[in-house]
Structure 1
Amino acid sequence: MHRARPSAARLLLLSCCLCATAGYSFRPPSDLDVTPRITVLSSGLQGCRRFQSSAVNYSTMMLEADSKRLYVGARGAVFALNASDISASSALTIEWEASSEQKLQCKLKGKDNKTECFNHIRFLQRFNSTHLYMCGTYAFRPLCAYINEEKFVMSSQPEDGKDKCPYGPTMGYTGLIIDQQMYTASQYWFRGFPDIRRNSPFPTLKTEDAPTRWLNEADFVGSALVRESSGSSAGDDDKIYFFFTEKSQEQTTTYSHSRVARVARVCKGDRGGQFTLQKRWTSFLKARLTCSLPDYDFHFNMLRSMFVMPGHTPQETLFYGIFGLEWKNVKASAVCRYSLSKVQEAFQGPYMENQDSGSKWKEYTGKIPDPRPGTCITDTLRARGINVSTSLPDDVLDFVRRHPMMSQQVQPSDRRPLLFSRTTDYTHMAVHMIEGLDGQTYHLLYMGTDEGWLHKAVEVKGQLHIIEELQVFEEPQPINNLQISAEQMSVYVSSPSGVAQLPLSYCARYSTCYDCIFSRDPHCAWNGKQCVDITSQAKTSALIQDIQHGRSGCENTQDVVNRRRSVRVGDDVLLQCELSSNLATPLWTLDDSELQGYGLNSGFRTGTDGLLIIEARQDQSGLYTCYAVENSVKIAIVTYNVTIGLDLPPSPPVEPTEDSNSLLPTLPPPTQHPRSERPVPPSASSLLPHSELLTPRNMKAMYLSLITILGGLCMVLTVVLVYVGFCLRVGNRGKYSLRAAAAAYPTKRHNRNRKQSRNSAHMELKTISSHCNGNGVCNGVSKKHNGDFQEGGFLQIVPGEGHTLPNKEPPPPAPPLPPTPLLPSPECEFPNGLSATLPSVLRRMNGNSYVLLRQSDSENTSPLCYSFSEELNKILEKRKHTQLLPRPDESSV
C-alpha cells in the first residue's frame, strides 16, 4: 500500500506560497522529492526496545560506548540505561524536580504551570573520568550539578546555572564540554540577548553587544568541535562551530528573508583582548548557510538541526543540516550537506560592514588590517611574537568588533539539497558510515520527523534513496534526539513520551532476492536463500548487493505464487496483488499479453491492491499474471489461472499462500462454501424473465416512474410526520445522522488521524483495508467471531449519496434493481425473488467505486437475513454505543 500523500489543500497552500515568493509556478526536481520505499507501522517493528517512565519530555541523550550506557535527560529526572537493551530493569534514576516554592514563583511570573514550571534537563555531558555534568531549567531558575558516574547520584549541591543553561524548555540551546571547559550558546535571560559563552574556567568570554551586536535574535540548534590543529602544517588552533538561525541583516536584491541560517566559529585558544574586546571573543566570525533548490529563487532559511560527521582527517569533516521554511503553516524540509573546506573558504573571504546601525549590511571594500582579523594564533603569528589573543593589535580587534559577518555564503555540495520533501517536517538527524560489498563507503542518514517517524536513507552519487520509514511512536509526536551506536548496531530515538532502540537495519524484512536488492541497504545482501546482514557474515564473496543501481544480481531467481480461481459468468472476481514497495507499480497480463485500458467498458478495474474482473465473461478466462515494476525491472509476483463458465462443477476450496511481501492479508478464494451442502442459485441476470418489455430503455423508464412515485410518497409522508411531530411535541430522538457517524469515524491510514472532507452532503459505503507491514503483520483489523466484523475489512460511513435513516423501523424495500455487480447469495432473497446479499466489501479502484461480495467461510456467515437498511441501522446503532474518546494530550513540551 502506498503511503498517504499530502492533502490537496496543503499542496495548494504550498504552491500558492511559493508562487507568491518566486513569482512563477513551482516544480521542484523529481529526483529530490523522494518517497520512502517501505512503510513499517509501529506494530510491525522488529527488534524494537522501549523505555518509559513517569517522566516526560525525553530531550537530552548522551551515548558512551566505553561504559555501554545511554544517559537520558527528561523533565525532572535523569536516567542511565543499558545501551544494549534500554528496556532492561537495570536502569538507574536520579529524580531532580523543581521545588514547590520555585514552581509557585514560576507560575506567579505568568509561565505555564503545565509545561514550563518544571525542571527540564537541557544539558548532560561528561565532565571528567568520574563525573558527569547536567543543567536544568528548574522552573525558570536554571541550576547545574555534578553526577557521580559510578554511584549515579548527585555528588554536590546544585549551583547557579543562569550563565550556562536557558531559562525555558523550548529556547534554542547548544553546549559542549571540551577539556573541562564549558561552551554554551543560548538566550540565558528572559529579556537578554543571545550569546555564545565560555563559562568555565577562567577566563570567561562572550559575544559583543555594542556598538555592533554580533547575534541578532539567534536560535541555536547545534555546536561541534573540529580539531583543526591535528596534522596542521601551520600550527592552527582547534575551533568550535555553532549553528543557528537569526534575523537577517544583509542588504541584497536577489532575496528577502526575515531570518537566515548561520554558522559561526571561535578559536579554542581564544583569551579575549587586552583592552579592546576584553572578556570578548577575538576570533568570532559568522557566515550564511544557503540551502536552495537549483534553478529556483527559493530558499530554506530555517535551520532545524545539524549533524557533524567527522572524517578521517579534520579537513574531511562534513556538516549535514535539516532546513525548513519560514512559513509555519506549510510543511516542507530539505537536507543539505556542507564540507569544512567550503566553510573555511567563506571565513577567508571578504567581510561585511554596517556603517549605520539602522541600515543593512553590505560588503566591505576597504583595507583589511594585518594580521587578518578573526584568525586563530598560528606559527606565523608566534614568529612575530603574538602567542595569545591578548597580544593582538588594537586596530585588528576593533575591526573584529565592527565586522563579525562574512560576505561569502557557504554553498552546499553540488549547490543543491540532497533531499527535498514537500510533506514532511524533519526535526533531527544522525549519520552512520558503513562500507558496502563494492568497497565504497556509504553514508546512512537516520532522520526523525515531527510525527514520530524515522526515515532511513542512503546517499548514492549525491542523492538520497529513502530505504524505509518506520513508525517509531504510534501517537504523533516530534523526535527530540537521535543517537547511533556502531558497537550496539542500534539507533536510539527520544520523544516527549519515551525512548526507543531500533536496530540499524533489519534485513529479514526483505523476503525475496529482488526485495533485498531493491532496498539498496548497505547492511543487507542476498545469500541465495535469505537477506542477511553483511556484518554478521564471515564470508561475503557469495553475497549479492547492488547499492549503486539497485537492480542486478537476481536474474536467475524466481519466486512466484500460483493460484486458481473458478467463477461463473456474470460474477465479479478480485485478483489480489499487494505490492510491499511504495516505489513499485503493478502491471497485469492475460496469457502473456499486457492488459490495455481499464475504462468503464473494458470489464476490468485495477488498483494498488489487485485487478477486478467485472461481470466475468467466458472469453476472459486464462492465465493472469501480476508484475511489480520497480527501478525499470519487471518481476512476477502472483499468477491466477482463472476459469469462467456457465455452470462450474464443485471444486474444493483453495487456500492461497500468504504473500510475505503483501501489505494486506490475502482474501480467501471465492469457492468457500461446499456446493454439496448448499446449492448455488443461478445468477441474478438468469432469473429475470426474458421479455421484449424488459429492454434497457423500458427498464429505465420503469425505474424512473417508480422513483418519481416513491419520491412523491416520501414527500407526503414527510409532511404528515412533521405535522404529527409538531402536534405531539415529539423531538427528533431516534434519528441517527449518517454524516455524524461518518465524522465520528475518520479513515485511518498509517495509523495517522486524518480527517475526511466533510464538504459533501452525501454518503457511501467503503471498506478500509487492514494495515500491514512488509512482514505480514497487520494492524487495525477488528475481527469478531459472531459475524459482525470479519477479517479483510469493515463497513464504514464516509461521504457519498444517501439520507438519514430511522433508527427503529426500517423503510419499505426498494423496487427491484437491474443486474448489478452484486454476487448472488444463497441466504437471502429480495421481494422480487432475486437472490442477493448485503455487500460486505466495497473497494475503490482508480476513483471508481464497485461492490464485491466478501468471500468468507460458511461458519462465519450469519444465518439471519436483513435488508440493506436494517444492516445499516444495526451497524450504526452498535457504533453509536462504542465511540472512542480522543486521548488527551500530555501536559508537557
Structure 2
Amino acid sequence: MWLSCSGRSGMRPLTELLLLAGLLLFSSALCARAAAINHGAVSSMVSGRDFGGVANFSTFLMDQSSGMLYLGARDAIVAVDTANLSKRRKIEWSVPEDKRTACVGKGKTVADCNNYIRLLEFLGDGRIYACGTYAFEPQCAFVNISTFSLETLEDGSVRMETGKGKCPFEPSQHYAAVMAGGILYTAATSNFLGTQFDISRATGPEQERIRTEQSITWLSDPEFVSSAFIQEDAKNNPTGEDDKIYFFFTEVAKEYDLYTKVKVPRVARVCKSDIGGMKTLQRRWTTFLKAQLVCEDRASGQRFNVLNDVFTKQHHPGDPSSTHFYGIFTSQWEREEISAVCVYSLKEISKVMDGPFKDLKKSCETWMNPDPVPLPRPGQCLNNALKAEGFESSLKLPDKVLTFMRDHPLMEDSVVSVPLLIRSGVTYTKLGVTLTTVSNGNIRQNATVLHLGTDRGELHRVAVMGQNATLLQELPLFHATEPINNILLHKDEALVGSPLSLAKLPAEGCSLYTTCEVCAQARMLGCVWKQKEGACDLAVSEPDEGLKPEDLDSQCGSGEDRCSPATTELPVVEGLRVLLSCVQVSPRPCHWQHPPHRHTRRHHSDLEVRVTQESLGTYVCLCEEAGRDQPPCRRAAYHLTLGEPSTSSSAARMGNRQFVVGYLVFFFLGLALPCSVFYITRWRRGKRGGGGHSSSTSEKGRDLLPSSDTPQSPSSASLLSESVTFTEKRNGTLNGHGGHGGHIVGHNCTHIYSNSNGLKLQESAVNLAEELDGQERAGLEEEEEGLGEGLNEMGDGLVGLEEELAKLHMLRGAPLAQCEESSI
C-alpha cells in the first residue's frame, strides 16, 4: 500500500520515492550478499569478466582426452583448460549490424538479436560443429580444434550453413541435440514464430534427413529437455538390434479431455537406420514411439508432471543395457516450489515401447488397445529377424504398417518410478550422477550421489542408498540470480556453470565433508570422522567402520540430543510474527506439531507464527531422516508464552547480527538518499524562482514497479512465469512467501539465459511516468526535470527489476475426463 504525501499539489509522494530507493538499495545489498559466499569447497572459479566480458554461457562440450572444455556463449566460443581455468582462448562470432537491425525491425529485442551459441558437437575429424541463433536466423559453422578458429571462405568470411532445424531461433527456447555416428539428431523449433516442432535427423545425406509428422498426436507444444544416443554393443548383440536415439520432453497431453492444459513428461525413441517410408510417411520417421513418464510418490499420491532435466548414466560402463536416466521433475499443480528426482532404466522403457499401443474408440466412450496390430510390428527397429523376412530397410515396410504407425505413436503403458527424493522450497535445474560401492561387513551396496543445481546458484549433494536419501551439502556458488544451467563430471571433478560463471570443485571423496556432523551424514558412502586428524576419511581399518550412526553421533558430541532437543521457552506479545527455525538436514519432508487454532505459514522447513491467544503453546518440528519406516527425528521444539520477547533468543533471529545490521544500514541509506534528492530538488526549484502549485492532484493508480513482458514465442515459456514478490533471504537466495522463487536483479545482474530450462531475465527500466492530464503535466514540467536530474545522480542502477504476477493454481491434481473427441 502506497501512502500519499500532501501539501503541494503535483509533488511526487515522498513515501513512494523512499520505498523505491530503499528497495533498490536493498536489492543491491542482496546481490552483494550473494557475492560474498564461501568458496572454500571450490577449487577455482571464473566469471564473464575473466573472459573479456563474454556472458550467457549456455553449452558445455568436454574433450575427455585433452581435458579441454568448450563453452558456447553470446557472440563467442570459449575454450578452457580444466586443469587450469586461467588458460583459455576465445573465438568471436557475432552478427553483422544489418542483420541485427533487421531482427529488431521484426519485433525482437536488441538483446535477443545476437548470436547465442546453442550447439557444440565433435565431428570426429578434428572439427567442432557449432550452431547459433544468429539474430533469429540460425547458422552453423565449423571450428578447427588445432588452431581454434572458425573455418573461412576464400574471401575471408566465415563459412556458414543454415542452422534451421539444428538450432533454436530464440536464445531461451527449449532444445535438445545429440551426435550419433557423425550425424546430428535434434529436437527444436523449425520456424521463426516458434510454433512448429521437429525431432529430426538434421545432417547427413539429403535423402536421409527425416523428421516427425506435423501432427499434435506426435508432438503437442513440447518443451524439449534432453537426448541420448544408445549404441548397441557390437560384441554382445546377437539379435542385431539397431542403435537408438532417445528424446525427453514435456508436452501438453492430448489423451486427456480437460478444461485446462495438462502437461505430461514423455520419452520418445527413433532408430538410427530409419530413412522413412516409400509412400506413406515419406521423409518421416517410421519408428517414432513415445511413452509417458510417471514420477509419483505412492504414499501421498502426489505426481510430478513437468520434466526439467535428464542425466544419462551407464551403471556398468560398456554395457548399454545398464543405462539409467535420472530426471528432475516439478509439479504443474503445486503453488510452492517443489522438486523430485526419479530414475528410469533402459530395460523398463524398452518394455513399454514393446507393449500395447494407445487408441480411442470412435464412439468416444473409452480408451482401448487397437486390434489387430499389423505385422511386422509398427515402430520396431531393424534387426536380424526383420532382415530375414525381407525388410532390409524402412522403405520396404507395407502401407498398413506405416498408416498404423502414423496414427498410433503413443504407447498404452507408462514408465513408472518412485522418487528418490522430494524437496520442498527448492527448484532444481540440472543434475549429475556419480556411483560408488560401499562395503558394510561382508555386504557390498551401491550408493548414488546426486549433484543437483538450483535456480539460485546453489549446488546440492544428496546421497541415495536404497530408500534412504541424505542431504550432504548445500554449496552457494553463484549469485542468487544465476541459475545453474550446466553440470559436467570429469575425472572426479564437477564443472558447474551458470550463464555468467564457471566453477570447478571436487565431485567425490570423503574429504568433501569438512565437519563431523556432515561426515556422519555421509556414513552411507563409507565415510568416517577421524577424531585425531579432525578430518573425514574413508573407513579402511574395519569393514563396518563409520557405518554405525550411534557411534558417529557420540563422536560429534550430539548423541541422543540430536533428535531430542530441549524445548525453547519463547516469550512473545500478541500481534507479533515469529519465525520458528527448523534445520532440515535430509531431503525428506519436515512437518510441525502445533496448537489446533494457530495462525501459521511455512517457509521451507521453518514456520512463521502470528501470535494470538489461540496460537500460544508448543510447536515441535519433526523431520524424516533415517528411512520411510523409521520414526521421524525431533529437530526443534518451542513453547510460546505471553511476555516480553527476548532479543537474544535464537529463534527470533532472522540471521546473524552482522547480516541484519548490514541490511539496516542499507535500509536507512535508502531513506536518507531520496530525502537528500527531494531537498536538492526543492532548493533548485526555489533558486529558479518556481512557485508552488495550489491545485490538487488526483493520481490514477500508478505502478512504480511494473512487470516487463518480454516478447516470446509460444514455445519459449520462461521459468519465471510463476514468480511472486520476494520477502525472504536464505543462503544467498531470495524466496517467495507464496512458495515460488522470487528473483531480484540488481545493477550487476542482466541478460541471463539458461539453455536447458528457458530461464530468462531481461533488462527492464523502472517506470516513473505519471498518468496526468495535459493541464497538470504542463504545470509540473519544470519539477519533473529537476526530479529527473536528482534521480540521475543516483547512478544507472535502476535496471534489472523484473516482477510477474503469480498464477492462480486451481488444482492439485487433475481429474481425467471420460471422453476425447479425436483419435490418437
Q: Which residue of 2 aligns with 1:226?
A: 230
Q: Which residue of 2 aligns with 1:101?
A: 98
Task: After TM superposition, list the pairs within 5 Å mapping 1:261-300 onto structure 2.
Answer: 261-300=265-304
- In the TM superposition, residue 111 of structure 1 has moved relative to its aligned partner by 0.7
Q: Which residue of 2 aligns with 1:342?
A: 348
In the alignment, residue 344 of structure 1 is paired with which amino acid? S
Q: Which residue of 1 aligns with 2:108?
A: 111
- In the TM superposition, residue 584 of structure 1 has moved relative to its aligned partner by 4.9
- In the TM superposition, residue 529 of structure 1 has moved relative to its aligned partner by 2.5
SS at match of 2:99: helix
Task: After TM superposition, list the pairs within 5 Å mapping 1:497-508 onto structure 2.
Answer: 497-505=500-508, 507=510
SS at match of 2:296: coil
In the alignment, residue 321 of structure 2 is paired with which amino acid? Q
Partners of 1:294 and 1:355 in 2: how far apart? 31
Partners of 2:149 and 2:556 in 1: how far apart? 60
Partners of 2:426 and 2:515 in 1: how far apart? 30
- In the TM superposition, residue 256 of structure 1 has moved relative to its aligned partner by 7.5
- In the TM superposition, residue 474 of structure 1 has moved relative to its aligned partner by 2.8
1:353 is aligned, of 341, 344, 359, to 359
Partners of 2:731 and 2:185 in 1: how far apart? 42
1:619-653 CA-to-partner distances (Å, cap 9, x unmatched) read xxxxxxxxx99969999xxxxxxxxxxxxxxxxxx
In the alignment, residue 503 of structure 1 is paired with which amino acid? P
- In the TM superposition, residue 598 of structure 1 has moved relative to its aligned partner by 3.4
Paired residues of 2:519 and 2:536 also in contact (CA < 8 A): no
Paired residues of 1:304 and 1:321 also in contact (CA < 8 A): yes
Q: Which residue of 1 aligns with 2:423?
A: 421
Partners of 2:371 and 2:482 in 1: how far apart? 51
1:436 is aligned, of 435, 438, 456, to 438
SS at match of 2:341: strand
> CA separation of 1:419/1:92 partners in 2, compared to 1, >3 Å: closer, same or farther?
same
- In the TM superposition, residue 332 of structure 1 has moved relative to its aligned partner by 1.8
> CA separation of 1:297/1:95 partners in 2, compared to 1, >3 Å: closer, same or farther?
same
- In the TM superposition, residue 889 of structure 1 has moved relative to its aligned partner by 3.1
Q: Which residue of 2 aligns with 1:752?
A: 733
Q: Which residue of 2 aligns with 1:22?
A: none
Paired residues of 2:241 and 2:384 also in contact (CA < 8 A): yes
In the alignment, residue 374 of structure 2 is paired with which amino acid? P
Partners of 1:82 and 1:523 in 2: how far apart? 32
Q: Which residue of 2 aligns with 1:155?
A: 151
Partners of 1:76 and 1:584 in 2: how far apart? 53
- Normalized against structure 2, the TM-score is what? 0.62
Partners of 2:141 and 2:624 in 1: how far apart? 59
Paired residues of 2:210 and 2:275 also in contact (CA < 8 A): no
Partners of 1:41 and 1:232 in 2: how far apart? 54
Paired residues of 1:427 and 1:478 also in contact (CA < 8 A): yes
Paired residues of 2:361 and 2:367 also in contact (CA < 8 A): no
- In the TM superposition, residue 509 of structure 1 has moved relative to its aligned partner by 6.3
SS at match of 1:541: coil
In the alignment, residue 201 of structure 2 is paired with which amino acid? R
- In the TM superposition, residue 233 of structure 1 has moved relative to its aligned partner by 2.9
Q: Which residue of 1 aligns with 2:221?
A: 217
Is 1:45 matched up with 2:45? no
In the alignment, residue 889 of structure 1 is paired with which amino acid? G
Task: After TM superposition, list the pairs within 5 Å mapping 1:663-742 onto structure 2.
Answer: none
Structure 2: tracts of 5 or more residues without a match: 1-33, 153-158, 573-577, 584-622, 635-654, 659-691, 693-725, 739-792, 803-824
Paired residues of 1:229 and 1:235 also in contact (CA < 8 A): no
> CA separation of 1:407/1:531 partners in 2, compared to 1, >3 Å: closer, same or farther?
farther
In the alignment, residue 137 of structure 2 is paired with which amino acid? R
Partners of 2:632 and 2:202 in 1: how far apart? 59
Q: Which residue of 2 aligns with 1:125?
A: 121
Is 1:551 matched up with 2:540? no
Partners of 1:287 and 1:584 in 2: how far apart? 45
> CA separation of 1:367/1:437 partners in 2, compared to 1, >3 Å: closer, same or farther?
same
Partners of 1:212 and 1:515 in 2: how far apart? 49
Partners of 1:630 and 1:212 in 2: how far apart? 44
1:726-751 CA-to-partner distances (Å, cap 9, x unmatched) read xxx9xxxxxxxxxxxxxxx9875423
- In the TM superposition, residue 236 of structure 1 has moved relative to its aligned partner by 0.9
Partners of 2:222 and 2:581 in 1: how far apart? 47
In the alignment, residue 305 of structure 2 is paired with which amino acid? N
> CA separation of 1:393/1:472 partners in 2, compared to 1, >3 Å: closer, same or farther?
same
Q: Which residue of 1 aligns with 2:451?
A: 446
- In the TM superposition, residue 208 of structure 1 has moved relative to its aligned partner by 4.0
User: Taking CA–CA contacts closer than 8 Å with sequence separation of 6 or more, which of the two structures ends up with the larger relative contact order?
Assistant: 2
Identity of aligned residues (%): 31
- In the TM superposition, residue 103 of structure 1 has moved relative to its aligned partner by 1.1
Q: Which residue of 1 aligns with 2:176?
A: 174
Is 1:516 matched up with 2:516? no
Is 1:889 matched up with 2:800? yes
Which runs of structure 1 show a deviation greater than 6 angstroms over 4 or more consecutive aligned residues?
Answer: 358-361, 605-610, 628-635, 663-666, 882-887
In the alignment, residue 83 of structure 2 is paired with which amino acid? S
Q: Which residue of 1 aligns with 2:781?
A: none
Q: Which residue of 2 aligns with 1:190?
A: 192
Paired residues of 2:210 and 2:276 also in contact (CA < 8 A): no
Paired residues of 1:184 and 1:199 also in contact (CA < 8 A): yes
In the alignment, residue 188 of structure 1 is paired with which amino acid? S
Paired residues of 1:205 and 1:272 also in contact (CA < 8 A): no
- In the TM superposition, residue 587 of structure 1 has moved relative to its aligned partner by 3.5
Q: Which residue of 1 aligns with 2:806?
A: none
1:669-697 CA-to-partner distances (Å, cap 9, x unmatched) read xxxxxxxxxxxxxxxxxxxxxxxxxxxxx
Paired residues of 2:201 and 2:211 also in contact (CA < 8 A): no
SS at match of 2:521: helix
Partners of 2:60 and 2:625 in 1: how far apart? 39
- In the TM superposition, residue 267 of structure 1 has moved relative to its aligned partner by 0.7
Paired residues of 2:446 and 2:465 also in contact (CA < 8 A): no
- Normalized against structure 1, the TM-score is what? 0.57
1:164 is aligned, of 142, 166, 175, to 166
SS at match of 2:349: helix
Structure 1: tracts of 5 or more residues without a match: 1-38, 561-578, 589-595, 611-627, 636-662, 667-728, 730-744, 758-881
1:38-75 CA-to-partner distances (Å, cap 9, x unmatched) read x9982253334112231221111112221111111111
Partners of 2:99 and 2:391 in 1: how far apart? 49
Paired residues of 2:480 and 2:734 also in contact (CA < 8 A): no
In the alignment, residue 455 of structure 2 is paired with which amino acid? D
SS at match of 1:81: strand
In the alignment, residue 800 of structure 2 is paired with which amino acid? D
In the alignment, residue 565 of structure 2 is paired with which amino acid? L
> CA separation of 1:266/1:515 partners in 2, compared to 1, >3 Å: closer, same or farther?
closer
Paired residues of 2:294 and 2:415 also in contact (CA < 8 A): yes
Paired residues of 1:40 and 1:471 also in contact (CA < 8 A): no
- In the TM superposition, residue 379 of structure 1 has moved relative to its aligned partner by 1.2
In the alignment, residue 383 of structure 2 is paired with which amino acid? T
1:242-276 CA-to-partner distances (Å, cap 9, x unmatched) read 001111111479x9852211100001111222222
In the alignment, residue 334 of structure 1 is paired with which amino acid? A
Q: Which residue of 2 aligns with 1:496?
A: 499
SS at match of 1:42: coil
